[in-house]
Amino acid sequence: MKNILETLINTIRGCHKPVEVLPHPSGDGQILILRDGDSWRSSLDAGPKRTVARHVFADLEDFCTYVARRLSGDRCEVLVHGDGMLVTAFKDVHRADLDSRASCRTTTHPAFAAWRSMDIWCTQQQVVEHLRGFGDYLVGDGAQAWLISTFQQLALTAKAEWISEVDSHGRIVVQSQSSKEAMSTKLPTSVEISVPIFRGVLVDDIEPTYVMELLISMDKDVKGRPLFRFSCPRLSLVTHEAFGDVVRCLRERLPDVLIGRGEPKTEEVPAL
């Protein structure tokens, strides 16, 4: 059976059995030295393949534990890239194509993700439901209860004709006129929240939080009902600070490993 398979393979290649097999300089595949009649020629072949393990962790603590036990050494390097969302460790950066690496895809904290999801136009009910679930991250004593109550008052004006404007004190004044009475409600133009950004990140054994100012915008839908949006103009600066805390966290947990910011890449160069 083995001879039959070899004959079939050689027939498909259109040549005889290779005289010599050399590894390809790039490390991918091999070079076959073939005799074709009275001449010699070379041919590229995919070569044998093997299965390698690519450890991908979802938790930064598990990642650090694995690197400390399995990959740490004089040539181990850890690179943080993708705005802190991806961390890659190499046992030997010069052998990055081999199964000597591990990575961790950090995830955003649920509270941060929830507030980021409010950067679209939301209905009044959606805002109230969000504040009930994540309003405890608002800065200020009683801020959650006060803001929920303020937004709930707008339910009395949603069915009436209303206008909104910013007064001299920087508050959104919503005035409505129904068939029975006129009403006026005041909303803040911005609120502050304090939330962690990445899960599992500890600096000095404390989960860092970041204060962000969210601007509140107001509009109407096609039926005249109020819509709200919470946006953070300084989001890129805050996430950059959180990126730095990911690096600091890794340096604390892996003091003997080289930690840096950058993207791992490989490049083919002439073999000298």
Cα–Cα dist 151/6, whole Å: 78
Cα–Cα dist 247/245, whole Å: 5
Question: Using DSSP, how many helices (H) and how many strands (E) does the chain show?
Answer: 6, 15
Which tokens go with 52?
A: 């390698």
Position 150 scores a pLDDT of 85
More confident residue, 86 or 143: 143
More confident residue, 91 or 106: 106
Position 270 scores a pLDDT of 63
Average pLDDT for residues 88-103, to the nearest whole number?
Answer: 67
Average pLDDT for residues 216-243, to the nearest whole number?
Answer: 89
Residue 11 has pLDDT above 80, yes or no: no
The beta strand positions in 71-221, using DSSP E, are 77-81, 86-90, 101-105, 122-123, 161-166, 171-177, 182-188, 190-195, 210-220
pLDDT in tens, 167-181: 555 566 565 655 455
Structure-token match 């003997």, residue found: 256
Cα–Cα dist 5/78, whole Å: 46
Edge-first strand listing for the sheet containing 39-45: 20-23, 30-36, 39-45
Q: How buried is 19 (Cβ within 10 angstroms: 0-12 exposed, 13-18 middle, 19+ buried)?
A: exposed
Residue 161 has pLDDT above 70, yes or no: no
Position 248 scores a pLDDT of 94
Structure-token match 């949603």, residue found: 158
pLDDT category of residue 93 using cuts at 50, 70 and 90: low
Position 260 scores a pLDDT of 86
Question: pTM of this prediction?
Answer: 0.70
pLDDT category of residue 102 using cuts at 50, 70 and 90: confident
pLDDT in tens, 176-211: 655 455 566 778 888 999 999 999 999 999 999 999
Cα–Cα dist 2/8, whole Å: 10
Q: Which long-range contacts (CB under 8 A, 24 or more apart) does 158-161 make?
A: 158/124, 158/225, 158/226, 161/224
| Sign of CA pseudo-dihedral 154, 160, 165, 169 | negative
Position 179 scores a pLDDT of 46
Q: What average pLDDT does the chain have?
A: 77
pLDDT in tens, 16-58: 555 566 565 555 566 666 656 555 555 555 556 666 667 889 8
Average pLDDT for residues 139-166, to the nearest whole number?
Answer: 74
Domain ranges of the chain: 2-45, 55-106+248-261, 110-233
Q: Which residues are within 8 A (CB) of 127 and not within 5 positions of it... i.e. 6 or more apart?
A: 118, 151, 228
pLDDT category of residue 151 using cuts at 50, 70 and 90: confident
Position 235 scores a pLDDT of 95
